[in-house]
Structures are given as structure tokens and as C-alpha cells.
Amino acid sequence: MIKLKTILTEVLEESLSSARKKYLDTKLIDQATFDKLKSFDPTPTFKYLEKIIEFYLESNPPNLEQVFKDYHRLHTKNQVKTRDVNKFKTFSDMSAEVESVNQTYSKKTAAKVKSKDAEVVFENDKWLVIIPRTFEASCKYGSGTKWCTTMDGGRHYRSYVNNGVTLYYIISKENPDDQEFGKMAVAVYPENSNDEFTTEDDDIIECFDAQDKPMDFYEILDITGLDENLFKSNPYELPFYEQLGLDESKITHNSDGSIDYDGNVNFNRNKRIQSINKIPIKFRKVSGNFACADCDLFTLENCPEEVGGFFDCSFNNLTTLKWCPKKIGGWFNCGKNRLTTLKGCVKEVKGNFHCHSNQLTSLEHGPKIVDGFFSCSDNPNLTSLRNCPRKVVDFHCVDTPKLPDSEKRWVEENIEARRFWWE
């Protein structure tokens, strides 16, 4: 194991050194661009980095990062023809091969789709109307089209479903390969959506032909003879990790049932996650940020023990910080809750700390180290500041009517801060 780690380290250093000498030292790119392109490389040893930079300088394609991620995924599954990335002469060559393999793989995957993954809402001798309930079903029944809901690993499909949109695929039995009307898609939005296209019943409608060109809803009805009442909002709830938009390739499943995630977790990305009592997935480590603000949480149970970025649990119904992360790498915000104590709070914050707008009586059990601003404002029952950090950037403590002046004087005499805010 030690030898393997040594080899990997040597390969990593060699790859980075070679790329630096070729592009950074020669000033073909600057440091910021070099660091950005490093993040595009999905390999642990940055073995694609030189090729990424080469293609960046060639044409700076907008899908540069995605193509290399797709190539690496297919490469690890032995599904690419060109095993050596350096044999691609142009980015177009690489992109074309990746797209071709992706399409082939999608067709193979689609063939395995079970009937339960798609809901048949209508069928006669001329037309089949289905609701795809999985991305795999979307690929199967949408094959041969240019719909975004059949591409990009399911990102657009999940976006539609997560926002309560119901997708209907209309398939011609007589001529499904017709490039215009062989397949048509109808997207029905929930009633509270703010789109300009509506039916008489105020459902919101978007329609597309097989080439993804917009169509009029009533044109589709004329072509097919279908009843407009078939197309109603019928939202489907994706598995929770998919609702969060988590990349399955970045998830590590632990023996205790928890997961580690290499990236950011944001509950606010999905409009349908509006009210949950607790986090339904048990996290252990999250390398990026963890944002679970404004979710009506009553507990932090299942929150990660370790967060690489910031942690935001503000605007909830929390009465305790039990299950709070033990370690974070950025700022911390537990403001706008119903906390009466900071017991369970993280002890070191590498950024700003916010516990404002709660029901705290003291700062006992709060963090000992805060590298940024400290805010305990708008705590109407706060009477003591004796347990605050000894050094902060700015100290904010306004709207605390029960706080004695003696506590303010104590803070000013004992705490190092650039400025104190009392009103």
C-alpha cells in the first residue's frame, strides 16, 4: 500500500510538473486558468491535464469539462475505442467519439428499462402516450430525438421532475422514426408556475417535436386526435439524492449506512424540497458546502460530521444544535431558529459565525475560535457574553434589550475586534 501511494504521488507530481513547464512557465496560460483547468481533470493523477489545456488553447469549447468527465467514465468501463487520450488530434474528434459511445450506451441501457419505469396513459393502434418515471425510461422512449431530457446524464430530466413538471412522450406507432412528428413531448408544469403558456384549465404547457423545436399544444392534438384531458400535472418524486442533484459517482456508501459526498449539498436547489422535519439521508462527510437553510427542519439529525466548506442551517425550527458538524472549513450560520442554547455547536469556525435571531440567554457552548465576523444580534433574552471567542473581526450584538451594559464593557475590554456593534 505504501509503495502504491508513493507511485501515485510520483505520477501526480510528474503530470503537474510537465503541465506547468509546458503551459504555465511559458506563460501560455496564467495561474488562475491553470487551476481552473486542473479542476476539469477527473483523474486523481491529472493525467488528462495537458490535453485539457491543449484543447482549451485550441478552441476553448464550452463543454470541455463535461466531455473529459464523460470520457473518463466511459474509459473506466472500457467503452471507448481510443484508450489513449493523447491520440485525439482535435477536441471535435474526442467529442464525437464520446457522443457516439454515449448514444450506444444509452440504447443498451434503455433496452433494460422495465415497464414499471414508464406509465402508459394512452394507447391505440396509432399512438402511444407514456410518462417516463426514470431517466432510463426517458432515454428509451425518447431515443432518436434531440430532447434535453434524454441527454447530459439526466441533469435536465431531473430538473424538470424536481420542479414538479410532468413529461408526456407521444410516440407514433406507424412511423416512430419520422424526424418531425414521429415523437413529440409535452411538458405540463404545476399550477403555481409562472409560464406564459396555459391551457383552458390553467395547466402550463410546453411542447416539442422530435427535433426539439417548439410546437403549439393544439397542433399536437390536431395531429394525434388525442384528448387534451390526458395531459394533466401528475408530479413524480425522484429518490431524494436525485432531488438534491447529487452526482452518484461522487457518493461513497459507508458500512454504517451513511454516505460521503465529494462536492456541495444544497437543499435549496429543488423547489419541491420545501418542508422536511429532518434530513432523510445520513451524511458522514461532505467535501464542499452543506446548505439546509429554510427547510422547516426540527433537528440536525443525519447532518454530516465533517463539512469541508460552509454550513448553513438558518431559517428553520431548530431548538438544539445536537448532531451539528464537529468540523467545518468555512462559515457557520444557525440564525433565525428557536435556539435557547448553543450546546452541540462546532468549536472552530474558519469564517463568519451567525447565531442571530434566536432565543439565546448566553453564548455558553459556542465556538472558541471564529476567524471572521461574530453575530449574536436579535436575541431578546441574551444576558451574558462571557463565553464568546476572544478574537473576531467584527462583533455584532444589536437588538438585545436584556443585555446589561456591564457585559458590553467586558467584551470591549477582553475581546479583540476591529469594531463593536451595539446598536
Q: What are phi and psi of 296, to 5 degrees?
A: 65, 30
In the predicted structure, residue 5 carries a pLDDT above the cut 50? no
In the predicted structure, residue 281 carries a pLDDT above the cut 90? no
Amino acid in the structure at residue 252: T
- Indicate the pLDDT class of residue 196, thresholds 50, 70 and 90: very low
- Indicate the pLDDT class of residue 113, thresholds 50, 70 and 90: very low
Q: What is the pLDDT of residues 148-181, one digit of tens each?
A: 999 887 888 888 887 788 999 999 988 888 888 9
* Number of other CB atoms surrounding residue 55 within 10 Å: 23
In which order are the strands placed within the sheet that holds 353-354? 265-266, 290-291, 311-312, 332-333, 353-354, 374-375, 394-396, 419-421
Which pLDDT score is estimated for 111? 45
* Number of other CB atoms surrounding residue 189 within 10 Å: 21
What is the pLDDT averaged over residues 283-304?
Answer: 94
Which pLDDT score is estimated for 116? 60
- Indicate the pLDDT class of residue 352, thresholds 50, 70 and 90: very high
What is the pLDDT averaged over residues 396-408?
Answer: 96
* Number of other CB atoms surrounding residue 419 within 10 Å: 10
Q: What is the pLDDT of residues 84-104, one digit of tens each?
A: 989 999 999 998 988 888 766
- Indicate the pLDDT class of residue 275, thresholds 50, 70 and 90: low
Mean pLDDT, the chain, whole residue set: 86
Helix extents (H) in 168-252: 217-224, 240-243
Q: What is the pLDDT of residues 356-396, one digit of tens each?
A: 999 999 999 999 999 999 999 999 999 999 999 999 999 99
Q: Which residues pair with 166 in a beta bridge?
A: 188
In the predicted structure, residue 254 carries a pLDDT above the cut 60? yes
Which pLDDT score is estimated for 293? 92
Out of 181-185, 196-200, 266-270, least confident range: 196-200
- Please, is 367 exposed, middle or buried when counting C-beta atoms within 10 Å of its C-beta (0-12, 13-18, 19+)? buried
Out of 107-111, 182-186, 298-302, 348-352, least confident range: 107-111
Which pLDDT score is estimated for 109? 44
